[in-house]
Amino acid sequence: MAALTQNAFTWGFVCGRVCVLERELLAQDFFHALLAHQRPEDLLRHLQETSLRDDVTAAGSWEDWSAIIDRHFYEQVASLRKNCPDARVPDLFLLQGDYQNLKRALTKQNVFPFAHAVLTPEMLAAAANGDSLALPKPYSETARAASQLLDDGRNRAELDLLLDGAYLQHVLASANAVKVPLIAEYFEAYVLVRAVVMLWRSFLAGSSMSAPAARILPLDGPNQIVRDLAAAAEPKNWGGIVKGRLGAIVSEYAGAEDADAPQRFELAANEYLGELARQGAGQVFGPERVFAYICELAAQAYNLKVVVCGRLSKIDADVLKRRLRKSHA
């Protein structure tokens, strides 16, 4: 277990807020009850018991509930961010939105709907007009590489690989810069999970695993692990490359040859990540307490999207239940 920050009293106020807000986290039984509804109006009425109640009143079953839930998550994180002595902790959960918005800018779209950590709409609009110098590093370097790739006529799948790799490099470097051992350990495991899934899906698509590895590297830490994964002829040879508990999960699922194996691995790995993050929940004052709470918020947002969007799309409840992450509210 990573050592926890000691005597971090400057985090006292925001940790006090977290202590109160934790009472609104949704338990696993809530999601199962939500899945049981057959009619959209009953499902949405049930959501009025949550912090989404105002959105339910304003919206209807025809709304984009994925975007509504994402926006609500962003608003919760942004509210906590105002009270954090180090805004880099909540920003770790918003960096992906920066890269999603950046992709839209690079493909000449002028609407940037994703929650952001650093990239403002003005910066993104400038990037959409070809001015990558308007972006701070490392976004500007990524934008220049992406623009060159698009100018060379490469396909959008290669753009996705480049941006996914840049995001993983950025989030891990940012987590290490915070200098909180638990957060660094969590994001190294998180990046490895994402890397495994990217390599695996490339293999299942009949492509080389070296292409996604080249986009992911270099990482601020587990470089050799990713190189060894990519060098293996196929995922069934991955046993022992990743160490510890996460390595055991990789070994358990990598031998499967069906197309759903990466998804099952990701679900199991996310449960491990949740257990790792919850080590911070016992911290009275400190960044770990806020970090652990935001991890729970992120899992809750994911589950809400699975249930609400899935049921509104008439996907079978049993199928959706298997996709749920465990709630420890």
In tens digits, the chain (329 residues) has pLDDT values of 666 776 678 999 999 999 999 999 999 999 999 999 988 889 989 998 888 888 877 666 667 899 899 999 999 999 999 999 999 999 999 999 999 999 999 998 888 988 888 999 999 999 999 898 999 999 999 999 998 888 877 777 889 999 999 999 999 999 999 999 999 999 999 999 999 999 999 999 999 999 999 999 999 989 999 999 999 989 999 989 999 999 999 999 998 878 899 999 999 999 999 999 999 998 888 999 999 999 999 999 999 999 999 998 999 999 999 999 988 76
Q: Is residue 171 part of a domain?
A: yes
CB atoms within 10 A of CB 27: 12
Domain count within the chain: 1
Task: Work out the percent of the chain whose per-residue pLDDT is above 90.
Answer: 75
Tokens 């839209």: give the residue.
Answer: 104
What pLDDT sits at residue 49? 87
Q: Is residue 126 part of a domain?
A: yes
C-alpha distances in Å from residue 249, one per residue of 9, 154, 221: 37, 35, 20
Q: Quick check: 109 and 129 in contact, CB under 8 A?
A: no
What pLDDT sits at residue 57? 73
Assign 211 to helix, strand or coil.
helix
What pLDDT sits at residue 60? 65
Domain that includes residue 141, residue range: 94-178
- Which is nearest to 210 in space by CA: 231, 237, 235? 231
Residue 129 CA to residue 117 CA, distance in Å, equals 21
Tokens 């954090």: give the residue.
Answer: 84
Q: Is residue 130 part of a domain?
A: yes
Residue 250 CA to residue 152 CA, distance in Å, equals 36
- The pTM assigned to this predicted structure is 0.92
What pLDDT sits at residue 259? 86
H/E element, 220: none
CATH number of the domain to which 149 belongs: 1.20.1690
Q: Is residue 105 part of a domain?
A: yes
Q: Is residue 146 part of a domain?
A: yes
Q: Quick check: 97 and 118 in contact, CB under 8 A?
A: no
Q: Is residue 230 part of a domain?
A: no
Q: Is residue 265 part of a domain?
A: no
Residue 143 CA to residue 21 CA, distance in Å, equals 38
What's the token pair of residue 46? 């049930």
Q: Is residue 20 part of a domain?
A: no
Residue 125 CA to residue 108 CA, distance in Å, equals 9
